[in-house]
Amino acid sequence: MENQLPNFPVPSQNYIAPNLTPMPVPGGGKTSSFRINKKLSLSILVIFLLIGLPIGAYFLGQQQGQAIKTARLAKDMNSVNITPPAPTATPTPTPILAPIATNSGTLVATNTATWNTYTNAKYAYSIQYPDNWNSQLAEKTGSAFASSVVLNNSGSPEIKINAIAKISDSSNLSFADYVQVAGIKEFGYSKLATIKPITTASGLSGYETTWVTSANGQTSTTLPITYFEIPSDKTATIEVFLYNAVDTNTYETMVSTFKFTQ
pLDDT tens over the chain, length 262 residues: 445 545 545 554 554 555 555 555 455 554 555 566 677 777 787 787 777 777 777 767 666 666 666 666 556 555 544 454 455 555 554 444 444 444 445 555 567 888 888 888 888 889 888 888 877 765 543 222 223 455 555 556 678 888 888 998 888 899 999 999 999 999 999 999 999 999 999 999 999 999 999 988 899 999 999 999 999 888 889 999 988 898 899 899 999 999 999 8
Comparing C-alpha atoms, which of 193, 229, 230, 220 is closest to residue 209?
193
Whether residues 117 and 192 share a domain: the answer is: yes
Whether residues 176 and 66 share a domain: the answer is: no
Residue 1 lies in a domain: no
Domain end (from 82, 113, 147): 82
Give me the pLDDT at residue 219, please: 95
Residue 38 lies in a domain: yes
Residue 187 lies in a domain: yes
- CATH of residue 254's domain is 3.40.1000.10
Residue 22 lies in a domain: no
Whether residues 217 and 106 share a domain: the answer is: yes
Query: 58: burial class by Cβ within 10 Å (0-12, 13-18, 19+)?
Result: exposed
Give me the pLDDT at residue 99, please: 47
Q: How many CA atoms, within 13 angstroms, populate the side-chain half-sphere of residue 170?
A: 17
Distances (CA, A) of 18 to 13, 15, 21: 15, 9, 9
Whether residues 181 and 113 share a domain: the answer is: yes
Whether residues 114 and 221 share a domain: the answer is: yes
Whether residues 219 and 130 share a domain: the answer is: yes
Whether residues 166 and 219 share a domain: the answer is: yes
Residue 6 lies in a domain: no
Residue 250 lies in a domain: yes
Domain count, the chain: 2
Whether residues 229 and 177 share a domain: the answer is: yes
Whether residues 109 and 53 share a domain: the answer is: no
Query: 244: burial class by Cβ within 10 Å (0-12, 13-18, 19+)?
Result: middle
Residue 150 lies in a domain: yes
Give me the pLDDT at residue 230, please: 92
Whether residues 76 and 121 share a domain: the answer is: no
Comparing C-alpha atoms, which of 60, 40, 63, 62 is closest to residue 52?
60
Domain that holds residue 76: 27-82
Q: In sequence order, which residues have a C-beta less than 8 Å from that of residue 150 and are 6 or more positions away?
A: 135, 136, 138, 157, 160
Residue 251 lies in a domain: yes
Q: How many CA atoms, within 13 angstroms, populate the side-chain half-sphere of residue 259?
A: 13
Give me the pLDDT at residue 88, please: 54
Whether residues 202 and 254 share a domain: the answer is: yes
Whether residues 78 and 106 share a domain: the answer is: no
